[in-house]
Amino acid sequence: MKQIFDQYHIELSEEETAKFEKFLEIFMQTNAQINLSAIREPDAIVEKHFVDSLMLAALYDIEGKVMDL
């Protein structure tokens, strides 16, 4: 996961990376039961959902507004 974030020059702390790993786990479990996304591969989920969201979030001040998992 870190490799994908690094590819897009997104720097995350160890804590943030751990939260994204947990979110990926929850996303994949839920996606198996409810069709949240047609994307099923973990790396593709990270790139298409997480990276895309972070790049958009970079345009806005959302510091401190991310919920704890």
Residue-range domain boundaries for the chain: 2-57
When pLDDT is averaged across residues 36-59 and rounded to a whole number, the result is 91
Token pair in block for residue 45? 């989920």
> Residue 31 above 60 pLDDT?
yes
When pLDDT is averaged across residues 40-51 and rounded to a whole number, the result is 96
- Check residue 56 and give its pLDDT: 82
> Residue 4 above 90 pLDDT?
yes
> Residue 62 above 70 pLDDT?
no
**Kind and range of the H or E run holding 59:** none
- Check residue 64 and give its pLDDT: 58
| 6 confidence band (pLDDT: 50, 70, 90) | very high
Residue 59: partners with Cβ closer than 8 Å, 6 or more residues away: none
